[in-house]
Amino acid sequence: MTEKFDIVVIGGGPGGARAANRCAQKGANVALIEKESLGGICLNRGCIPLKALLASAHQLLAAKNAEKMGIETESVKPNWQTIQQRKNNLVDKLRKDMTASMKAGKAKLIQGRAIVTEPNKIQVKTDEGQINLEAEKIILATGSAPIQLPQIPFDGQTVISSNEALSLTDLPPSLIIIGGGVIGCEMACLYAAMGTQVTVIEALEQLIPMEDQWVGRLLKREFEKLGIKVITKQKVSSLLKNNNKAKLQLDNGQQIETQKVLIAVGRKSICDKETIQNLNLETNGSEIKVNEKLQTSAPNVFALGDVIGTTYLAHGATYEAEIAAVNATGGNKTITDYSIIPRTVYAFPEIASVGKTMNDCKAEEIDISVGKAFFRANGRAVAQDEIVGEVRALRNKTDDKIIGITMVGQIVTELASLATTIIQNGKVTNISFPHPTFSETLQEAVENTRLK
């Protein structure tokens, strides 16, 4: 027997779940298929567990620095097992809440591995057997997996991915992180705060290479204060394992020993090969190609999130889910400017940026004025002893619009939506900034673009 739906969504991560809910809210008969745990990588092996661990790390650093705030404390140290248990409990609760919410909604949740056999037919292999489905539209949201270096393959023990790094039973005395991007920098802060000797190796010129040079310089300075050693413009040429330890050799001949090696050089899109072949989908490497409506090359099949490789961000996937849901239910909506999706890094300090960078403007020959403001001059930041960082805003001199905002500092990720609003309006319009708040530094940076 074949069960029929208007729309079948494959993949229950943030993007897939949002798309299924939105389609159901628009009156469609929807099925959501997830082969593992609802919530995808973000909830189970990514954003949420890492942020839970980082929250513990932040509390630990705050406790160690409490004396300067007038708080007397005795010896402060991490209990890694308790920290891990808290993280696991938190993820379990959020997963149960998300599952209950989906079941209470209008979309049908099916647990199993889905393979699209034809543009409107899906086979789902479950623990109870195979289920056959038909759908007028299909949305693929199958996610991504950590990239493996050919010369340094994962072994799950000495050479690990972010999956294992989130669930280590013991704190390693030393850790080398290959990759100075988002995941590498967040992991570096976590383990350095816990007392691990951390080294970050980045092949490009700076940490967080997608942002401007000043961001990389500031982050490196603060990392060194945490005891993190940063090596840039170097690649790892080989690795030798011996007695659960590793010795890495860099291109310049330098050798470094460590107990564990975390490969954090990015993620790659994943989708069942059978589905790609059966639908004859156009791809770019592992990524599924889509147009500005998120339609694939197959009729009535849409794709979003990591599987199309646009942002590799959970909130990027949910943004795309809104577009895909509209179009899958008969609408006509497009997405053309991905720069308005905030880029966030939850390191110590945090980074948040929206719109164009200074590097972008230089490459596109856009004449800009740059406004700067510093948290060391912000009343709330000084009161809380969180004075590290700054905000830079970019104004296009041609049309007088704000086209880029980059922020480094405490809780700047919480200001990303406000920065997005400013970018979309092109200016600060009818926004009252409470005093004293960190947000006033953002306001000041925007206003200072007119001083150039």
Kindly list the catalytic residues: 435
Distance spanning both ends of the chain, measured CA to CA: 70
| Cross-strand pairs, 240 | 247
Can you give 273-306 as a three-state secondary structure string? HHHHHHHCCCEECCEECCCCCCECCCCCEEECHH
- Spatial separation of the C-alpha atoms in residues 155 and 283, rounded to whole Å: 29
Residue 387 carries which side chain, given as an amino acid letter?
I
DSSP 40-99: HHHHHHSHHHHHHHHHHHHHHHHHHTGGGGT---------HHHHHHHHHHHHHHHHHHHH
The tokens of 80 are what?
């890694």
Q: SS3 of 440, please?
A: helix
Q: How far apart are CA 389 and CA 439, in angstroms?
A: 13
Count CB neighbours of 81 within 10 A: 11
Tally of residues, the chain: 452
Contact 412, 438 (CB under 8 A): yes
